[in-house]
Structure 1
């Protein structure tokens, strides 16, 4: 009997499609079983999701907090008084010798005004001094500053709590509240400042009237610093120059960019220009170490995630060993069980990441608006006198979410391999 060619071709085509259709049906069944299995024990699944999501939220909160703390500490250090950079005569910072001052200031000021990266600068004269009132005596550092330029660089003017800012008239002095308490004086009282002149070393005195009291909320500044007008400080020390020029840059990141021309222009045999990292290296080192806190928290949290998820998956497998045994006995391949357990872990990971990102965004956004107040905390000699506002970073949210999902899949490997290695005869008689 002759079989028609068309019928034969159709039969061959249908038979060739059958395995692929079977695989597709089996994959769909595995996917459906995985979805149903994760909520077979709803309480256990929700607790696992809560563990993973809280871990992710804690990691992201820590990351946002560390970013905010680093920015706040740098901001306090640079904008309060230090500046993003400073210019000194070579050797001055090591000795604080009043003889080492910058003499040709006119040319230097012209160069500073021509550099676009510099937003503002403030020349300063500084020396150790003895301050004495009618009641007491105390040592302090006297800064001679240009009132207008200083207000553009530091927060001296904003830190005033009583009295008036410097106006350029000789005889004005601004002191800290704590120093005023030590000297037992108040606004308008007289104060004698005694310094050692440059070069000769002769003692020089001047009488001042307290025109203002400031409070930076940092003990070393509030009890150990005083400010007078630049011109009078130069007369008092008998110098025609400045000891320090504080720089305010257009962008804080420019302090790290040593390729900028200003770092080469103002570094030679006579003067040196240093960024804030070089001026306070202990703070820079501490901030570098602080950034590792996110990594440490992440490692701890991910270990907890792995252990929690492995425990959940194994409990689920032991409860369903008879079911797995029957599936294997009727022809289900071990790799399909492996994929089913991995899919269960994937679905739990997706739920956890979604919940964790939502929780992290709520807490981090709240922290970025309200801030966390650490006004009583002192770190490395610096008081955190401003709230720490958390900084949300989209790249961190994305990378941590993917890392969490990867960890859940990694933690599912061991239970999946265990399920795939079950023997049908053993699994069907092993029940809880």
Structure 2
């Protein structure tokens, strides 16, 4: 049995120790660039793999296998000396003792890098957290995939029209990139795949609802992109409601703030994220649960503690509310911090962070995407879709995964098929209509 008060056993070294919490985009890029000839590096993460989160929605809608978007962390750094990985849940930072407390013990650090990402933001509503489907982790995607496929297997057995409709309705909350992409993927399933699998069902009855509180889709992108996304989703017969808010969900009915009710058993929550700030460093936490950092990613008022990516909030003239919680920000901050810590050992001056916004994009389905590059070029359609595919393939960590994903995309494109329509792990609600407790709560303590 593990004693949480014991120290985690790591080989002793004369090198200063950097402890990194989180193997997401920022943590991974930091680890690749840090000089382990100069430092001993210990990575802590609750999973033993890195998740390529932008493609989770494709796992959830049977387009990709989960292992194609997840790469083993040990494999990524197996040739890096003075590197150690420990699978652990981080509970607290003790800055006075320079220790990280975890479920497997304590570990001391000389430098601490917090790259623990973000959590789904339910805005304090326990009902949504317990009964909806977030999409931040591989288990979330597998839960949603099982739910979708199980619903149709149940629907073919129903004779009551109301029960059948409830099973075939899907409500997505949030009209940002994740919400738009999930809606588009469900639209493709409805149009191309499910009619072949369930010929006894009238798939015209399947209704997809996208609810967005702002007045248009893709609020973080241009009006051009929002309008294009709206146009593409309408081609999939997605019911789009902007300027409306989901008020409640009892597991069977979604109620909007205007009183509209939608019968459904599946509410996908894509309405926002918040920082995954770990307890212990409480001097300066933003309202969205992020650590305030300076231009060098150093947590304010903590000399040897740094935060990068979604959990870091760096204010500047161009970003008065902090940088967007996007993978490119985390990647660039991870690279800069590693470079600065390498410079520290060579007595070279540090460089401050300046975000290079190369663009944003979202895909809605086959040949349908929106792309904005360098703040100047905005385009949609087939070329935007190809650009989206290329960029995501480049960012995938494992070469094998690039091949697998590209192969899946080619197969899907030419056959109009989804090859992973498997209920490997059935999703089961408890008697109260809630998700199992262990999976209904996202732990606020790790990457």
- TM-score normalised per structure 2: 0.22
Larger RCO, structures 1/2 (Cα 8 Å, 6+ apart):
1
- TM-score normalised per structure 1: 0.22
Please identify which structure carries the higher strand content: 2
Larger gyration radius, structure 1 or structure 2: 1
Please identify which structure carries the higher helix content: 1
